[in-house]
Structure 1
Amino acid sequence: MQQITVATDAQRRIRQRELAMLDEKEAQEREEARKNKGFTQVYPLGWKRIIELAKGNAGAFGLYSFFAENIDPTCGAVVCDQQFLADKMNVNRRTISRWLSYLEENRALVRIPVAGKVCAYALDPHEVWKGYDNAKDYAAFVTKTLVNKDGDIRRRIMSMFSGEKQNDDRDPNTIDMFESTPQ
């Protein structure tokens, strides 16, 4: 016996919208999985770097690891000030400064001054990377910016960039900056 289903046009449109929303949600989930979300890639050169840093300077190794964990997948950099790093690592700013100098001397990172004590810290994308492999050529300069919650640095950074976007669902210590790149 054949089954007959009777639905109104309104019911059909509602069901079509429900199916379209399910398809969109599945597509977003597939895209997030494809991005290696929550995953940091360490290449053979990166492992060599990690071993050298661990043997040479444990504090600098910890700071390098912090950057590797927090780099933005689109650019391979983190923007923050030294006081924020000192607070996160439970040391003083002078110690952070020594560790940063050690990392720069050993070519483990590049420090790019942004404003005052705020710098962008970029790692070699052939050592450590978080995003799509084909995005390495465009590393820098959309960034994940880390600042102290109570400091005035957040206000200064926000005023430096036009067209910024901030997602209130994110960690209050994180500001995402978006810059358009010339085509």
Structure 2
Amino acid sequence: MGDPTIGVLAVQGDVREHAAALAEAGALARPVRKAHEIAEVDALVIPGGESTTMSKLAVSFGLLEPLRARVRDGMPVYGSCAGMIMLADKILDGRPDQETVGGIDMTVRRNAFGRQNQSFEADVAFAPTPEAPVHGVFIRAPWVESVGTGVEVLATLDAEPHAGRIVAVRQGNLVATAFHPELTGDRRVHEYFVAMVRAAL
């Protein structure tokens, strides 16, 4: 089997960084901006950015319903930061008209760690990589307030004042992190997702 083709939703956010990380992790990465392109990829990454803007653009570009349909059909999707919000079934502190792709039975709080100037970095014990923590970059990041019974928690923060906060989850073929692994040189989160995609294929 050849390298899987993984799209990166390219309406807003850190698209190039995810594409580079996916390529290093053994996938063929391509931008997705149009509805028909969703049908042409094996999986998708929803990058970080501004979740309300991303939601509006996904609606205006006609991407939201095709994305929801592919998620229902089992397409693997990874969302980082704003992408985590886009994969949540419920949002706290969102705009009243904000829509999500959904698929993960979780409630996410937007900008939970504070404003841009309260961004931080921390080592995160990410369950699929037990040999060493991954370095997490948190920029106006969400956290997961609660999860349903079908959701696996992959990481929580250890350090105060945010100890115990859920920052990575998986449900079926969907995975989400509150942090930005694409902004570090560590490709293990992307390698984990690429392996998920290969298994799904």
| TM-score, normalization by structure 1 | 0.27
Relative to total residues, which structure has the larger strand share, 1 or 2? 2
| TM-score, normalization by structure 2 | 0.25
Relative to total residues, which structure has the larger helix share, 1 or 2? 1
